[in-house]
Structure 1
């Protein structure tokens, strides 16, 4: 199933002319493994004089303690600030959908969540970048249960 989803995302990226693809590995503060793939579309728009891009992400999360699994699908507009040609920082605020309302001992309250991201990156060359990423996913207290997720990860980005 995972291979099928990755193939679907790769073919979608080709069909809809996404500009970048990102693959990554992340973990949470309670040691779960997260594998993610993101499709990124650069836009010609600027917000606060910063370039705007759109990120569509799919994450698979598995528990190191039991057999729990969680799928996360998200969409985020992303703003990028370039310090120079090599280093950049990104900020994003978007929405996410979780396949389950709970994972391990955490209760999320609802499937619909908000996702915030802060990314520090380094451009290796004109086609390849690497990033250190922090994501926070929660329902912003729209439900009584709001355990949320704090995710720390590394990504490798290929620019077409």
Structure 2
């Protein structure tokens, strides 16, 4: 089922004129496995001279210790700083929706969450990049239950 979703998202992303697509693997401090598919749209906008892009992401999180799983859908705005033509850094802020209000022993309080990201990347070629990524997802204390998620991962990006 996961493979079908990845292929479907790849086909759909090319139809809606996204600029990039990313496939990634991540983990949490509890060793949960996370597989993600992200579509990226570049814009002509700049903030503080940095290019702005938008990401839409779908993550599947599988528990390493229990028979628990979680789906995460998110959107976020991203700023990119290019060190040179090969290395870059990005920071993002957006919103996430979790399929459940709990996962393993974590309680999130609400399905609606905030998402912050920072990543460091390397352009392998004109068409491919790879990144090391850190995401933090939490409800910013809107609810007393706010375990949050700290996610560390690697992504491979294809530029259309």
Q: Normalising to structure 2: TM-score of the pair?
A: 0.98
The match for 2:73 is 73
Report the secondary structure of 2:4's partner residue: helix
Displacement over 6 Å in runs of 4+: none
The yes-or-no answer on 1:136 pairing with 2:100 is no
The match for 1:120 is 120
Provide the alpha-carbon RMSD of the alignment. 0.8
- Residues 6-34 of structure 1: CA deviation (Å, up to 9, x unaligned): 23312221121001000010000111000
The match for 2:5 is 5
> Which blocks of at least 5 consecutive residues in structure 1 are unaligned?
none
Report the secondary structure of 2:30's partner residue: coil
> Which blocks of at least 5 consecutive residues in structure 2 are unaligned?
none
The alpha-carbon deviation at position 143 of structure 1 amounts to 0.3
Alignment of 1:50-129 (within 5 A): 50-129=50-129
Report the secondary structure of 2:97's partner residue: strand
Q: Normalising to structure 1: TM-score of the pair?
A: 0.98
